Amino acid sequence: MKKYFFAILIFVSNLAYAQTNDEKLVVAFWNLQNLFDVYDDPQKNDEEFLPESLKQWTIDRLDRKFYNLSRVIRSMNNGLGPDILGICEVENKPLLDSLIKKYLFDKNYIAESPEAPDERGIQNGIIYDADKFKLLQVFIDTVKLERNVHTRIILGAELLFKPSDTIYVFVNHWPSRRGGEVESVPRRIKAAETLRNRIDLIFSENKNAKIFIMGDFNDEPVNKSILNYLKAQPILCDSTEMLENIKLKKDISDLFNLSYHAFSIGEGSYKYQDDWNMLDQIIVSRELIIGNEIRYSCNSYQVYKPDFIVTKSGKFQGTPFPTYGGNRYLGGYSDHFPVIATFKVGD
């Protein structure tokens, strides 16, 4: 009986918001904090997430994680879920397929998550609404670090939207700050250069390309990897004059960082010690700021934190409620908040 009641609620929710949803696209990104299966893969360093490990990662705990993730995803976009969701920290594509099949079964979501060379075996993924998009091709860009070390790939997807409108989505999880922020900067610069090369190739074929870039960059909007190497300009989407200025100045920039305003007022998606960091960002091409077919809804970018994923008390009050604190199982969601942005479709 509960299952049927749940289905009725889904149908009513979809009916209530269908007309509004047709007029916009909702794009989101979320670091899922170690979504691993419970099986040992000899090709990956996944021993931390096994039933016999210190974390005691079991089928029951994985299923709880699926439920928690789906609860957040469902709550986005007024209960309809995002149209495009980029994710990182998933071990393999079958995990995303299981999440969709078990807990997002009423959505026509399709997942892509190619195998990555990361030593821990975690990779990036994209989930998209197949009622709105058709996958045309997947891009896999390998970030080669010093001594020919490989880190997580940059995942790209070319999607067909409507009959003839093409968009590009790139999902990132840049090298961490392990070893210190300054010492690790060259690794993130290498990731930025790798992505920029792909972006330049797309622009060489279509200067008005519609490009969504999202991810956990392990740097903030004003760090040089993003500002100087990816060349994503901060944007304060606060006036008609600003938009006209972008239209008139052809050389002003071709990428804009939607997360800058939230960052500038002290918000963040991840808290390290006592500091909020805006590591999770959404960056878009110029056409998505000033274009007619799909255009950013000014100031719609937000760090998405519904009340049920926020830690309520104690030392970590106000931070994301995670799955684990060290090796201690907490049963939460992730140590990052998702980020989300809305785009108007049509004039």
Cα torsion angle, 45, 138, 192, 273, sign: negative
CA angle 304, 74, 139 (to 5 degrees): 80
| Top-confidence residue, 62 or 292 | 62
Residue 266 lies in a domain: yes
d(CA 278, CA 271): 9
Question: What's the pLDDT band for 249 if we cut at 50, 70, 90?
Answer: low
Per-residue model confidence as pLDDT tens digits over 73-119: 999 999 999 999 999 999 999 999 999 999 999 999 999 999 877 77
Residue 187 lies in a domain: yes
Q: In 3-state terms, what secondary structure has residue 27? A: strand
Question: What's the pLDDT band for 247 if we cut at 50, 70, 90?
Answer: low
Whether the CB-CB separation of 270 and 248 falls below 8 Å is answered with no
Question: What's the pLDDT band for 243 if we cut at 50, 70, 90?
Answer: low
Residue 14 lies in a domain: no
Per-residue model confidence as pLDDT tens digits over 138-152: 999 999 887 777 788
d(CA 215, CA 111): 16
Residue 7 lies in a domain: no
DSSP annotation of 152 reads P
Query: Percent of the chain scored above 90 by pLDDT?
Result: 76
| Residue-number span of the structural domain to which 206 is assigned | 26-345
Q: Where are the beta strands (DSSP E) in 23-94?
A: 24-35, 84-90
Global pTM value: 0.91
CA 132 to chain CA centroid, Å, is 19
Whether the CB-CB separation of 111 and 133 falls below 8 Å is answered with no
| pLDDT attached to residue 20 | 42
CA 209 to chain CA centroid, Å, is 20
Residue 19 lies in a domain: no
Residue 66 lies in a domain: yes
Per-residue model confidence as pLDDT tens digits over 184-242: 899 999 999 999 999 999 999 999 999 999 999 999 999 999 999 999 999 987 656 66
| pLDDT attached to residue 21 | 45
Residue 328 lies in a domain: yes
| pLDDT attached to residue 12 | 36
Query: Other CB atoms closer than 10 Å to residue 22's CB: what's the count?
Result: 10
CATH number at residue 329: 3.60.10.10
The total of structural domains in the chain comes to 1
Q: Torsion angle of alpha carbons 333, 69, 344, 259, nearest 10°?
A: 30
d(CA 90, CA 315): 28
For residue 319, pLDDT beyond 60: yes
The mean predicted confidence, pLDDT, of the chain is 89
Residue 158 lies in a domain: yes
| pLDDT attached to residue 251 | 54
| Top-confidence residue, 248 or 320 | 320
**Alpha carbon distances (Å) from 273 to 137, 183, 270, 277, 315:** 40, 19, 10, 10, 10
